[in-house]
Structure formats: C-alpha cells, structure tokens
Amino acid sequence: MLLDPLLDPHPAAKDRSGAATGSPGSVPASEDSLPAILTTPARLTHLQRLEAESIHIMREVAAQFQKPVMLYSVGKDSSVLLHLAMKAFHPSKPPFPLLHVDTTWKFREMIEFRDRTAQELGIDLMVHINRDGVRQGIGPFTHGSAVHTDVMKTQGLKQALDAHGFDAAFGGARRDEEKSRAKERIFSFRTASHRWEPKNQRPELWSLYNGRINKGESIRVFPLSNWTELDIWQYIHQENIPVVPLYFAKPRPVVERDGTLIMVDDDRLPLKPGETPEMAWVRFRTLGCYPLTGAVRSTAATLPEIIREMLLSTSSERQGRVIDQDAAASMEAKKQEGYF
C-alpha cells in the first residue's frame, strides 16, 4: 500500500542476502549452518555510520537521565528517530515514552498515522494540547503564525516537559536544516526556564556526552544532527520505514496564497473572496500545521520518485514552512525561547 510504494517490496532484505552470498569481505556460510547470521563488510557504509552514531547517542540518554522522552512530530524525521530507537534498545522496548505536542491544526492523516504507529509498535504515546491556548481560541488565522506557533507549540511543549518533569527530550532536528541548527550541540543544554544559550554551549568532544544537570535543568538531544535530508530518505528507503502518506503525491484540494499552496484539510480554513479550492497533484516535503505548511506540485507517488524529485529540487525543504520566513535569524530567537 501507500507506505510501501516501491516496486521491490523489500530492498533492504535483498541487499542483505546479496551481501551474504557474494560481496567481498563476507563470510561463506559454514557447514554447521548457523541460523541466519548476518555479515558485515569490514568498512561500514555511510548510513551504517550514521545509524550507529544515533544509536550510541540514544543509549547514552537512556543511561544518563532519570526521565527521558522522545518528541514525536509525526514527520519523516520522527519516523527515522523512532525506528532508530527500536533498534537501539532491541530486544527491549525503548525505555521512554513518545510525546506529541498537538497544536490541534495538524493534518488529519498525521493524527491517524501517529495513533496507528504507536499502537503497532506497542509504545507509550502521550499527547499534549495547550488547553489555555484552546480556551483563548488561539489559531493560525485569528492570531497569525508567530503567535499560534509560540502558544500552541513552544509554550505547549514547555508545559508538557514541566508537567511530567522530563529531564531529557529527543528531537529529530538536523544540522543541515538551518543555520542556527548547524551550530547546536547534540546534547543541547537548557536552563530551568528552557532557554538555549547559543554563546555559551558546553564543549562536546569525541563521543563523550555530558548529561549532568542540576534540578530543573534539562537537555534537548538531537541524534539525527549529522544526517542530511537525502540520508533520511535513503534510510527510509533502505529500511522500509513507514511514513505519513502526505509525503506522496496525489490529487488534493488546495488554494494558492501568497505563492504558497495550502491544503484544505478541514472546514476551518477561511476562504478569501475569489478563492476556490482546486484539486491538484501535490505532496509535502515537510509536515506541520496544515495552514502553515506549503505543498509542492508533484507527481512523485513512490519513494524512488520522491528521491529523484529531491535530487532535482532547487529549493530547500524548509522553504515550505511559513514560520521560518518571519525574520532573519528567527529560528535562533525561537530556539532561545524554548522551541525545538
């Protein structure tokens, strides 16, 4: 189905069996025929290195902190993060719950995917909604993207972290996404009021991560720091990781606003005079609140097509995010306030 759009349903499995029979450095099957033993080439591939680094980071967090949590945003990076967490602690389940900060404006397909994934993997999923914000009627149309994001996302996140006393929170951010992210440590220290101090970050050497904190302080952890967007898709492809169907193109109802294609996901989208939703072949490169996430016109309905499209793209993935375009260095300012 849509989660597995490849012509070859199990590329990863095929690669492995190929390696076991032929490639240099592999060990011939012994005569006492052990049960399916995998072999590893002496030199690790680029993705194997990234995977191992992420797993190392996750295990450090599990060992060093009292109460970690994994921020789950339902996007492709979250899917990879969760897959890595399953690998890091196998055969145990990851020793932390998932937390989704729901702004109440997420795509409906994201919510369905979220609930199904948590159930299938048998993982605790906590959903937090900023009830104060809901009471005040905060939304992207009434209050603008900046206020909506701050109240429903940033403040909502801080409420959830404080309410449960989480001392470490995993996020799926990558350094290739944005300039201030490129500067951030993997273990990123936060004061008791969740502030990031970019000018005074802890030195982070080798693979020695200092997770010591005083009461009330916390650490944001970014196991995907060294992955690029291409690595993410390549890994999803290799490992057959399910992602939200919105990443794949199909006809969807959209309106064009200030050059951005907004999908009409429910009847809360106020149409301006003269606007009529049109059905267009579109997909999403990044997922967030539906009114703040621009679609791209595309016919890429399978993973290889998405990867091919990305290789030919002339714009970065965050371009579709309305909130990033507010002001120069806006991400740094938002991060200082506690945004992920």
Partner 1 sequence: MLKELDPVAAPAIATSDIAPADAAAEVQEYLARQNSKDLLRFITCGSVDDGKSTLIGRLLYDCKCLFEDQLASLETDSGRFGTTGAGQLDLALLVDGLAAEREQGITIDVAYRFFTTERRKFIVADTPGHEQYTRNMVTGASTADAAVLLVDARKGVLTQTRRHSTIVSLLGVRHVVLAVNKMDAVGWDRETFERIAADYRVFAARIGITDVTCIPVSALTGDNVTKPSDSMAWYGGPTLLGHLESVDAAAERKLGSFRMAVQWVNRPNQDFRGFSGTVVGGAVRVGDDVAILPGGRTSRVARLVTMDGDLETAEPGQAVTLVLADEVDASRGDMIVAAAGRPEVADQFAAHVVWMDEQPLLPGRSYLLRAGTATVGAQVTELKHSINVNTQEHAAAKHLDLNDVGFCNLALDRPIPFDAYADSRETGSFILIDRLTNATAGCGMIRFPLRRASNIHRHATKVDKAARAGDLQKPCVLWFTGLSGSGKSSVADRLEQELHRLGRRTMILDGDNVRHGLNRDLGFTDEDRVENIRRVAEVSKLMVEAGLIVLVSFISPFREERRMARTLVEDGEFLEIFMDTPLEVCEARDPKGLYRKARAGQLPHFTGIDSAYEPPEAPEITLKGGEHGTDEMVAQVIEELRRRGVI
- Is 195 near partner 1 (CB under 8 A)? no
- Is 78 in contact with 106 (CB distance < 8 Å)? no
Q: How far is the CB of 26 from partner 1 (least distance, A)?
A: 10
Choice from 2, 3, 44, 271 touching partner 1 (CB under 8 A): 44
Interacting residue with partner 1 among 176, 223, 294, 338 (CB under 8 A): 176
Residue 199: exposed, middle, or buried by beta-carbon count in 10 A (0-12, 13-18, 19+)? exposed
Name the segment binding partner 1 (CB under 8 A); options: 113-121, 258-266, 272-280, 310-318.
310-318
Decide if residue 308 touches partner 1 (CB under 8 A): yes
Q: How many CA atoms lie within 13 A of 107 on its CB side?
A: 26
| Touching partner 1, residues 45-64 (CB under 8 A) | 45-49, 51-52, 55-56, 59-60, 62-63
Interface of this chain with partner 1, residues 212 to 251, rule: CB under 8 A: 212-214, 225-226, 228, 230, 234, 237-238
For residues 111 and 101, give the distance between their C-alpha atoms in angstroms, rounded to a whole number. 11
Least distance (Å) between residue 169 CB and partner 1:
18
Question: Rounded to the nearest whole angstrom, what is the least distance from the CB of residue 142 to partner 1 in the complex?
Answer: 28
Q: How far is CA 186 from CA 96, 99, 221, 338, in A?
A: 18, 19, 6, 16
Q: Are strands 250-257 and 218-221 parallel, antiparallel or unpaired?
A: unpaired
Asked if residue 179 binds partner 1 (CB under 8 A), the reply is: yes
Tell me the closest approach of the beta carbon of residue 95 to partner 1, in angstroms.
9
How does DSSP assign 163-219, residue by residue? HHT-SEEE----TTS-TTGGG--SEEEE-TT----GGGPPP-BTTB------TT-EE
Site for partner 1 contains 21 (CB under 8 A): no
CA-to-CA distance for 96 and 34, rounded, in angstroms?
Answer: 34
Stretch that binds partner 1, among 150-158, 209-217, 245-253, 286-294 (CB under 8 A): 209-217
Q: Taking CB under 8 A as the rule, does residue 42 contact partner 1?
A: yes
Identified binder of partner 1 from the candidate list 1, 28, 120, 206, rule CB under 8 A: 206
Q: Which residues, in sequence order, are bridge partners of residue 189?
A: 219
In sequence order, the 6+-apart residues with CB closer than 8 A to the CB of 117 are 79, 82, 242
Interface characters, 112-151, with partner 1 (x: CB under 8 A): ----------------------------------------
Footprint (CB under 8 A) of partner 1, residues 78-97: 86-93
Residue 160 has a CB neighbour count (10 Å cut-off) of: 21
Residues in contact with partner 1, total (CB under 8 A)? 85
